[in-house]
Structure 1
Amino acid sequence: MKGMNGTSVPGPGSRVASIRKGRGLSQVALAQKAGVSVSLLSKVEVGDRVLTQGVAASLARAMGLTLAQMLGSAPEENLSALNHAIRRFDLPGDRPDLPDRLPREVDDLNRLRWDSELSKVLERLPRVLTEATNHAHAAGSPAAWTLVADIYGVVYWLAARHRWMHLAELATMKQRLAAERADPIAAIVAARDEAGTFLNSGDFAGGLAIVDRAVVAAESVLGGHERAFGLGILHLRGLTLAGRLKDKQTMNRHLAAAWRVADEFPSDIAVHGLHFGPENTATHVISTASDMEQHRTALSTADDLIRGGHSLPPTRVAPLYMNFGRSQLALGDQDAALESLEEAWASAPEMAAVHPTSLELVRVLTSLHKRSNPRLTRIAARAGITI
């Protein structure tokens, strides 16, 4: 796809044609195998339509790829220290000097996560993970191992944001192992993240199976607000997976269940590195409505949430505006989509720089704008794109 000055603008959708041609497939043949229209495939390839993750997963399956391979991964940074910490999961080391400070360290790590400070999260993770793991081996308590499981949830989040799927899957494996020695809620959070690896790989049906199994476990082992929280995060994951599958019946089941437990919280709470409550449920409604091409529902829900005020962290605000922009673009409002893209970048620039929806909005808006647009050019420059 060519930009306003004729240069190629990267983005997940720009990979489709080159991968398709590399496999010797025509647009007609690929569209038939993937179950999408030739018109849609053509528009994605030339930059007139955003490549959604649902369509990308269908194209990936048709070409024998994972969703992450179809979308492309962010360049890997130096992960040697983090990999070393993960590798030594079963090898106890020196006890930390001040173990009582570890919960505060993990809280600080999660605040960086919620602020989408990806580079700072990566910088701190190896030391905090190492110290928490050594402490858990020494203490042997469920609380100590819950802390380790929570940190692996941060590792999963960081890897998923960059689409480093080998690291995401390794993180959830270690998270499950830590959860076996932790408080019961840790296993539920781990299942939610494991279902996320299925989501990120495009195996939406497999992810739903993980969610359904975990819902049964949560209903039997958790109680009170912890039960509502555990079920809530699972049903939101199920909602997203069903939306990507375009399974309306399953989507509505998870949506209704999520709202039921969200009603138990007057406002969103943040525990174990995750947010849940009415506001976060609304953001998932907006995302899934966009996936289901119910764009006016997405826009009206987003407008209500934004106009009414919210307490969402940047890690939720940026995707909210990306999905807002996706629906605006689908309805032909390029100017509003650009404004939403700017809001996403203002909220969480490091996330916007690697998020596939953000990159697709840049790609398609660049293709659709017939003249140079300074606002779009500034965003593209921040993303390392020359247009």
Structure 2
Amino acid sequence: MHLAELAVMKQRLAAERAHPIAATVAARDEAGAFLNSGDFAGGLAIVDRAVVEAETTLRGRDRAYGLGILHLRGLTLAGRLKEKATAERHIEAAWQVAEEFPEDIVDHGIHFGPENTAVHVISTASDMEDYRESLNTADDLVRGGLTLPATRVGPLHMNISRSKLALGDRGGALESLEAAWDVAPEMARVHPTSQELMRVLTSLHRRSNPRLTRLAKRAGVPF
């Protein structure tokens, strides 16, 4: 975490000498360092300040993109805090600016658009234990087709699996976890959500389950 904090500090200093959008990206990444260290309230404070700055310094497409990536970070942080009102504020704002992008784009190495907004909303709904909303959003997203890379689709399937498991659908949870492994096996092997899902599924299944056995073998989990 010390190295991560050093990286975002240097990024922020460099952004002061660059285009205003660089400062927005730096703030988003700094809030991400707070997210990864568990200081969700601190990360939200960074996002709130950056949103105000972006609204006054950015114009046109940069403004929509900058605000979009900030609100995605904000809704994730609010979801971890289970602050429903704050999360809904960021969700509404993210959807609003996502409407300016017919399809997802990649800028500064970060995806933004309708699909990635939906992916974040699905994850945050699960964090706030609104599992039915998470699955409803996922159904709409998958039905429309996915263009996001495996690094985004893998976690999507993990969060779908998480919601299904919470609602008692073990078979569906296993199916979605298998999908995560199929699209991004290297990520699924080390991702904390994937590991926790595997732990819970193997502990719940007392009978032989060939599909789960195969997946557990891929994950290196005794079963």
TM normalised by structure 1 equals: 0.56
TM normalised by structure 2 equals: 0.95
- Of the three residues 148, 151, 155, the one matched with 1:315 is 151
**Structure 1 residue 349 corresponds to structure 2 residue 185:** yes
1:66-85 pair list within 5 angstroms: none
1:174-189 pair list within 5 angstroms: 174-189=10-25
How many residues align structurally?
A: 223
**Structure 1 residue 216 corresponds to structure 2 residue 52:** yes
What is residue 196 of structure 2 aligned with on the other side? 360
Distance 1:364 1:303, change over 3 A: same
- Of the three residues 320, 327, 335, the one matched with 2:171 is 335
Deviations 1:336-364 (A, max 9, x none): 10010011111111211221110000000
Deviations 1:199-221 (A, max 9, x none): 11111111100000111111121
What is residue 372 of structure 1 aligned with on the other side? 208
What is residue 135 of structure 1 aligned with on the other side? none
Deviations 1:282-323 (A, max 9, x none): 111111111111111111110111112121111110111011
Which residue identity lines up with residue 329 of structure 1 in the other structure?
Answer: L
Task: Tell me how far 1:279 sits from its aligned partner.
Answer: 0.9
- Of the three residues 192, 213, 228, the one matched with 2:28 is 192
Q: Distance between the aligned counterparts of 2:49 and 2:88, measured in 1?
A: 18
Distance 1:381 1:180, change over 3 A: farther
What is residue 126 of structure 1 aligned with on the other side? none
Task: Tell me how far 1:330 sits from its aligned partner.
Answer: 0.3
Q: Distance between the aligned counterparts of 2:22 and 2:220, measured in 1?
A: 38
**Structure 1 residue 302 corresponds to structure 2 residue 138:** yes
1:274-285 pair list within 5 angstroms: 274-285=110-121
Distance 1:171 1:374, change over 3 A: farther
Decide which moves more: 191-200 or 356-365.
191-200
Gapped regions of structure 1 (runs ≥ 5): 1-164
Q: Look at both structures and tell me which one has the larger radius of gyration over its CA atoms.
A: 1
Deviations 1:224-259 (A, max 9, x none): 001100000000110011111111111111111111
**Structure 1 residue 236 corresponds to structure 2 residue 105:** no
Task: Tell me how far 1:373 sits from its aligned partner.
Answer: 2.5
The sequence identity of aligned pairs, in percent, is 76
RMSD: 1.3
Which residue identity lines up with residue 140 of structure 2 in the other structure?
Answer: D
Larger RCO, structure (CA 8 Å, separation 6 or more): 1
Gapped regions of structure 2 (runs ≥ 5): none
Q: Distance between the aligned counterparts of 1:333 and 1:183, measured in 2?
A: 48
Q: Distance between the aligned counterparts of 1:175 and 1:359, measured in 2?
A: 32
Task: Tell me how far 1:325 sits from its aligned partner.
Answer: 0.3
Q: Distance between the aligned counterparts of 1:349 and 1:182, measured in 2?
A: 37
Q: Distance between the aligned counterparts of 2:14 and 2:194, measured in 1?
A: 34
